A = this chain, B = another copy of it.
Amino acid sequence: MIPEMVKNAAGRLVPTVINGEKHPPYQGVGKYKPRGRKAAPPVASCADYPSDGNKVVKDIKSALKKCGLRDGMTISTHHHFRNGDLVANRIFDAAAEMGVKDLRWFPSASFPCHAPIIEHLESGVVHHIEGSMNGPLGDYCSEGRMRGTAILRSHGGRYQAVQDGEVHIDIAVIAAPAADPFGNATGDRGPSACGLLGFALADSQYADKVIIVTDNLIPFPCIPWQIHGNYVDCVVVMDKVGEPEKIVSGTTQITKSPDRLLIAEYAAGFVAEAGIMRDGFSFQAGAGGTALSFAIFLAEMMRESGVKARFIRGGSTQYLVRMLEEGLTDYILDGQTFDLEGVRSMRENPGHVNTSPFTSYNYHGKGNFASMVDAVVLGATEVDVNFNANVVTHSDGRLLHGIGGWQNCLFSKCTILPIPSFRNRIPVIVDEVTTLCGPGELIDVVVTERGIAINPRRKDLLKKMAGSSLPIVDIHDLKSEVEDICGGKATPPKTDDKIIAAIKWVDGTVIDCVYAVNG
């Protein structure tokens, strides 16, 4: 059945009904105004909880029973353990043993380690997954094999959806590297330390029932309490909640590719020459090889110029930690943690400040941090000549990546995409992106190994960079050059008319959708 489709403000055909529920189409940046009130979880009473604060129950199944798990419910998890998560599969194994069906899994993201969920999708225990799907689950979904439609949201969009009541979580299961029997929990210590637990914040605040699962039960109080025990119904102790070596990579590698290094250097140079790098400025860069190299180049330029940042937005890495320790920034505002050095520093250095999708990214708040960041450096799978960008599919149409905080970060004062101009001889600069994730009006600069394209809307930046030694180019010229190298445009994806995923904008509207691929 093809749902009713409308053309949204970005000119994309999108469904208005997804999994039986209405979703508004994208109306433009800042145009859709919510009118409702926030989700209202049930009022609890201390009389129903043990007065000694001990909420420990014997295992996940007991906890799910106690929380009233039944057919059709929504269970949420977080992805701070990334590909080392050992908890999510156990939840659905327990649900299967209980004979429960048609669950909606609402992870903040899923990874290859969650491939066993496919079995539960096939058997009917899980109806569909709503959240990023990396690896086998993405393939499964892309092939049109999932019963429901996936809905992909940014980190901020996930908070927004829960806060606004768009997604009602029946039971949140929050895996924690340290917790006390009351349910206070933290991610920054313990054998499975992963840094933060912020992706589970909305879940703890808004779910009807909340279960903490830990392999490291400590006496009350668990300090810091990144998750408040006052939201928690029960605590389960497991042998191991995460495989540390897969949670974060011990040594995040900077890129060795000469092209990528050049891109990173161009991007850092741009930030310096455009006058963004000045005392008290701020920036955010991710954990990819190019982003890491950008941070290293920028740090060097800051040292040379004697410039100090007010804050850097993490994911912390060893490189950001070094900048903090060196005094190149007052603070690192962490949303997650990308390496073990980041976890250590976060635990020990008060210059790290824990943030969450609520503080940093929620578009349905009274402002958020993302728009205050002077420059953000992000990746993309495709960018088109109108600066629209894609992060979830490649040109083959296959769903490969989640959105992460990417959409939220676009609100930065200067959004820079340092990307190769082509990958595997397929152009990255295209006429029109396969899947629209970020509107061009929010993307200011595209930095490739073949030149830097500035969005014509940013006349201020164009003016500043006039006469620059950096190779400023027109994006159309860049595209032509790339097509010449690659021998033409990318082959259009082979898809059928089944919608396998909807892409949400930060305000809960549908900006695009993804179709099933053939073969």
Which A residues contact B (CB, under 8 angstroms)?
A: 30-53, 55, 163-164, 182-183, 210, 219-221, 223-225, 228-233, 280, 310-311, 331, 333, 350, 353, 358-359, 362-369, 371-372, 411, 413, 507
The answer to whether B366 touches A49 (Cβ under 8 A) is yes
Give every chain B residue within 8 A of A507 (Cβ-Cβ): 45
CB distance from A221 to the nearest CB of B (A): 6
Which of B36, B48, B51, B365 contacts A411 (CB under 8 A)? B51
The answer to whether A45 touches B52 (Cβ under 8 A) is no
The answer to whether B43 touches A280 (Cβ under 8 A) is no
Give every chain B residue within 8 A of A30 (Cβ-Cβ): 45-47
CB distance from A91 to the nearest CB of B (A): 20
Assuming the A-B contacts A310-B219, A350-B350, are A367 and B43 also in contact, with contact meaning beta carbons closer than 8 angstroms in the complex?
Answer: no
Give every chain B residue within 8 A of A48 (Cβ-Cβ): 33, 366
Assuming the A-B contacts A37-B40, A37-B42, A359-B230, are A52 and B371 also in contact, with contact meaning beta carbons closer than 8 angstroms in the complex?
Answer: yes
Assuming the A-B contacts A310-B219, A358-B230, A371-B52, are A37 and B46 also in contact, with contact meaning beta carbons closer than 8 angstroms in the complex?
Answer: no
Assuming the A-B contacts A182-B367, A230-B365, A353-B221, are A33 and B52 also in contact, with contact meaning beta carbons closer than 8 angstroms in the complex?
Answer: no
Copies in the complex: 2
The answer to whether B43 touches A37 (Cβ under 8 A) is yes
The answer to whether A358 touches B228 (Cβ under 8 A) is yes
Assuming the A-B contacts A40-B37, A365-B44, A366-B230, are A311 and B372 also in contact, with contact meaning beta carbons closer than 8 angstroms in the complex?
Answer: no
* Cα A371 to Cα B52 with chains together (Å): 6
* Cα A280 to Cα B180 with chains together (Å): 14
The answer to whether A43 touches B52 (Cβ under 8 A) is no
A-B contact pairs, 19 of them (CB 8 A): A33-B45, A35-B43, A38-B40, A38-B41, A45-B363, A45-B507, A46-B366, A46-B371, A49-B367, A51-B411, A52-B372, A53-B372, A182-B367, A221-B310, A221-B331, A221-B333, A223-B353, A225-B359, A230-B362
7 nearest A-B residue pairs (beta carbon): A30-B47, A37-B40, A49-B367, A51-B371, A40-B40, A34-B43, A53-B372
Give every chain B residue within 8 A of A36 (Cβ-Cβ): 42-43
The answer to whether A311 touches B55 (Cβ under 8 A) is no
* Cα A30 to Cα B229 with chains together (Å): 20
Give every chain B residue within 8 A of A49 (Cβ-Cβ): 366-367
Give every chain B residue within 8 A of A220 (Cβ-Cβ): 310-311, 372
* Cα A164 to Cα B221 with chains together (Å): 26
* Cα A311 to Cα B222 with chains together (Å): 11
* Cα A229 to Cα B359 with chains together (Å): 8
The answer to whether B182 touches A230 (Cβ under 8 A) is no
CB distance from A494 to the nearest CB of B (A): 38
Give every chain B residue within 8 A of A210 (Cβ-Cβ): 366
A160 to B, closest residue via Cβ: B43
CB distance from A231 to the nearest CB of B (A): 6
Which of B33, B43, B311 contacts A163 (CB under 8 A)? B43
CB distance from A363 to the nearest CB of B (A): 5
* Cα A286 to Cα B191 with chains together (Å): 38
* Cα A52 to Cα B280 with chains together (Å): 14
CB distance from A234 to the nearest CB of B (A): 9
* Cα A372 to Cα B50 with chains together (Å): 10
Q: Which residue of A31, A32, A371 has the most chain B CB atoms within 10 A of its CB atom?
A: A371
* Cα A233 to Cα B368 with chains together (Å): 12
CB distance from A170 to the nearest CB of B (A): 14
CB distance from A291 to the nearest CB of B (A): 22
A229 to B, closest residue via Cβ: B367
